[in-house]
Structure formats: C-alpha cells, structure tokens
Structure 1
Amino acid sequence: MSLFCADRLSYTVKGKPLVLEASFALEPGTLTMLVGPNGAGKTTLLRLALGLLKPDSGTATLEGSDVSKLAPVQRARKVAYLPQQRPLIWPQPVRDIVALGRFAFGAAPGKLSREDEAATARAIATCNLEGFEERAADTLSGGELSRVHLARALAAETALLVTDEPVAALDPRYQHEVLRIFSDLAREGKALLTVVHDLGLAARYADRLLWMKDGRIVAEGTPRETMTSDRLRTVFDIKARIDATDAEAISLNILGPA
C-alpha cells in the first residue's frame, strides 16, 4: 500500500479550475518532485492533498485514512508540511522555532521531553545550524531562516515530508545540501514530496517527477523517463538538450525560450 494517495482531486475558484482530476501516489523511500510553471496549480495541489483545502471532488488518503477526516494533531503527527510562506510572529531563538516541530507531540518551548530535545537537536544538526541555537530569528539571513524552518519540519520526524519550494532562498551550496538531506531521508524509508523550480536539481536528485501544467498532472515517472526535450517545450515553453550521463542519470542544458 502507498503511504499517500491522491485520487482525482479537483478545485475551482470563481469558475476558474486551479486543479483538475489530479491523481498520484507517494511511496516510502522515494523523493518525488513536483515541477511546473508558475500558476500551474502546484501549491493548491499540495494544500488539497494535505486537507488544508476542501476539494470540489476527489479524495486523498494518508496511511489509508481520509486526510479530510484527520484531526489537525493527527495529521501533524503523520506528515510535516513546509509551505512557501513561513511568517514568524516574533523573533524567537532558533532552538525554540525548531522545537515547534514537536508541538503536535505535546511539546512546548522550554518544556521539552528528552525525546523532543533529541529530535530538535537532530534537526538542528542535519540543517547545519549548530551554534545558531540562541540566535534570534530577526538576526538571520533569508537563507539561514529558510534552513531554520526546514529544521522545524524535520524535527517532527514524520513518515511523510511535504515542502513547497524549500530551496528557493538558498545559495547553490545549500540547495544541494538540502536536497542531499532529502535524498538521505528517502534512503531511510521516508516519503518526500517537494516543489522545485530548478529543473537541473530535479534531474539530479528526484526519484520521481510529477509534471503539472494548467492544473493537471500531465506526466509522472523517473527523470530519465519523463524529462524530454518535447515535454520541456510543452510544459515550460523552453528549448533544452537532455544528455544521458549513465544508465539512469541525465544532465539538462536549457538553451532558452522555445
């Protein structure tokens, strides 16, 4: 059984369809990347899949349970979600922000169990934030703060991690470091779904790709199977050359607009 299944999810706002008949499954041990142009419906699809929006039709199940029927605490114990917008109400210390990832398990800053403290420390170490624990959030760069929010999601240590453009604010080094973290988590048996705009990173790190355009999932499969010049022209309106580097890996050279 798949860890997560979306079945024909659709959602319309003021007569405009944002997501149409979207179906996909997420398997343990797999890093899945959702790609598509701006306005394709990627963020809306994530919110529908997680039960944060009510679909007009279709269903989503997590470990066999209807996501829409899960209480927020139940859902938060099964899936960690890192959205695009990550507002902070006040400039908390980094450790307290990361510890919020344990909230669904009954934790609160300053009142962490030994297990919560260990999970928080593991997330801080994973995101290379050791030494930042007492820093206030308003003293961090945008990239540093992005890593803090990622650590907060990782601290939940859920079976499923869903992230929306987690590397958008990061420099190239940390983009690769974050996606290596995701790859390692997949190798440990977790399922991950993440939105990325850098197709080169998608080609390098994704186990599977979901291609989205105009609210529909138009293709699904490995980068080698689905990342073709024709698809890049159709979905993104770009010219690109795809080269095979070995039996499975590919390299992408974007030449410009189609």
Structure 2
Amino acid sequence: MSLLEAEGLTHRVDGKPLVADASFAVHPGELVALIGPNGSGKTTLLKLALGLTRADSGTAAIGGTPVSSLSAIERARRLAYLPQARPLVWPQPVRDIVALGRFAYGAAPGKLSARDEAVVARALTACRLQGFEERAADTLSGGELSRVHLARALAAETPLLVADEPVAALDPLYQHQTMQLFAKMAGEGRSVLTVIHDLNLALRYATRILWMEEGRIVADGTPEETFTEERLCSVFGVAAQLRRDGAAMRLDITGPA
C-alpha cells in the first residue's frame, strides 16, 4: 500500500491552473525529491495531496484512506508535514517546540511520558540540537530554527515525512546531514517526500524524482532515468553537464540555456 497517493489533482486560481492533472504515489522506503522552477506548483501540490487545500478535481489518499475522511489527528499520526513557512506564535524553548511533534499522541509540553521524552531526545540528537534544549526560539539563527522544526517533525515518528524546502536555510554541512537523515529513514522503511532546489542534493540522495513544470508533473523516475541535459534545459532553462564519479552522478550547471 502507498503511504501517499494522488490521482489527477487539479487546482485553479482565477481560472489559471496552479496544478493540473497531477498523479503520483509514495511507497515505503522511498526518498522522493519534488523539483521544479519557482512557481511551478510544488507547494500547492503538497497541500492538495495532504488535503490542506481543496482540489477542483482529483483525489488523494494517505495510507489508503481518502484525505477527506481523515481527522486532523488521524492525518498527523500517518504523516508529519514540515511547511515552507514555519511561524512561531511565541518564543518557546527548543524542547517544547520539538515536543509538539507528540501532540497527536496526547502529549503536551511539560507533560511528556517517559516514551515521549525519549522520542524528543532522539529527535534533538538527530538534528544536532544537543545543548539547545532550553534556548528560546527567538535567540536562534534561521538555520538553527529550521533544524528545530525538523526535529519537531521527526518527533512525530510517522511512516511518512513531507517537507517543503527543509534545507533552504541550512549551510552545506547541515544540508548533507539532513539529506543523510532522510536517506536513513528511507533505508529503515519509512518514507520522505521533500521539495528541494539543490539539484545535486536531489541527484545524490533521492531514490525517485518528481519533476514539475507549469503545474504539471513532467517526469517521475529514478535520478538516473530522469536527469538528462535535455530535461534540465527544458524544465529549468539551464545548460548543464552530467558527470559520473564512479557510481555517483554530478551535475555541473554552466549557465542559462
């Protein structure tokens, strides 16, 4: 059974399709990268698939259940969603923010069970946040706060993590560490669907790539199957060379096409 499945999703604003006839599925053990130019519909597609935005047509299901049939709690137990915009209402301590990932299981900051405490501690460690537990969120850098929100999503311990540009504010080291964490999750049988703009990170770590252009999914397959110089020119408008270093592939973008 797929963890997330969309069929023919379409959404229009003022008559213009932001997403058109989009279909895909995410299965256990996959790290799926959703890529495409700015404004190609990636964030809208995620929200449609999760039932956060109403589709004009098409269907979406999480763990085999239509999204329209799931309560917010049921959805939160099946997947963790890390949106692109992550506002904080007040400057909470880091540990309390991460503990919000346990809310769907009845936990609340300051009232965690021993199991909840252990899960939160693992999430903090996974995101290299040891020593930050009591720091107020408004004292953190943008990159540090991004890692806190990722830890919150990890603390939910769901089969699927959906993340919209999770590495955008991170330095290169933490970008790679985050993608390695996602790859480890996939290797353990969980799955990740992530929007990412660094094509080399997608090429290196993803097991599958979804390519979007003008609201449509124009390719879906492994990096080796879908990364071509012709597609990079067509979708992103760049001239690029694909190189192999042993089993690994590397993309060199030389400029506009």
> Is TM-score (shorter-chain normalized) higher than 0.5?
yes
Q: SS at 1:253's partner residue?
A: strand
2-side partners of 1:200 and 1:192: how far apart? 17
2-side partners of 1:224 and 1:231: how far apart? 12
2:245 aligned residue: 245
1-side partners of 2:106 and 2:63: how far apart? 22
1:4 aligned residue: 4
Q: How does 1:111-150 map to 2 (within 5 A)?
A: 111-150=111-150
2:209 aligned residue: 209
1:225 aligned residue: 225
1:179 aligns with 2:179: yes
The alpha carbon displacement at 1:110 in A equals 0.4
Please give the per-residue CA displacement for 1:144-176, whole angstroms capped at 9, x wherever unaligned: 000000000000000000000000000000000
1:74 aligns with 2:82: no
**Gaps spanning 5+ residues in structure 1: where?**
none
The alpha carbon displacement at 1:244 in A equals 2.7
2-side partners of 1:69 and 1:2: how far apart? 17
1-side partners of 2:246 and 2:192: how far apart? 25
Q: How does 1:2-81 map to 2 (within 5 A)?
A: 2-81=2-81
2-side partners of 1:47 and 1:229: how far apart? 30
The alpha carbon displacement at 1:250 in A equals 1.1
Aligned residue pairs total 257
**RMSD after superposition:** 0.8
The alpha carbon displacement at 1:16 in A equals 0.9
**Gaps spanning 5+ residues in structure 2: where?**
none
1-side partners of 2:249 and 2:223: how far apart? 8
1-side partners of 2:219 and 2:246: how far apart? 23
Please give the per-residue CA displacement for 1:203-255, whole angstroms capped at 9, x wherever unaligned: 111100000000000001111110000000000000000123334x3110001
Q: TM-score, normalised by structure 1?
A: 0.98
1-side partners of 2:152 and 2:220: how far apart? 29
Identical-pair percentage: 66
Please give the per-residue CA displacement for 1:30-56, whole angstroms capped at 9, x wherever unaligned: 100000000000000000000001101
2-side partners of 1:124 and 1:165: how far apart? 20
1:255 aligned residue: 254
Q: TM-score, normalised by structure 2?
A: 0.99
2-side partners of 1:115 and 1:9: how far apart? 38
The alpha carbon displacement at 1:69 in A equals 1.4
1:189 aligned residue: 189
1-side partners of 2:190 and 2:240: how far apart? 32
Q: SS at 1:90's partner residue?
A: coil
Superposition misfits of 4+ residues, deviation over 6 angstroms: none
Please give the per-residue CA displacement for 1:90-145, whole angstroms capped at 9, x wherever unaligned: 11000000000011111111011112111111100100101100000111111000
2-side partners of 1:150 and 1:68: how far apart? 26
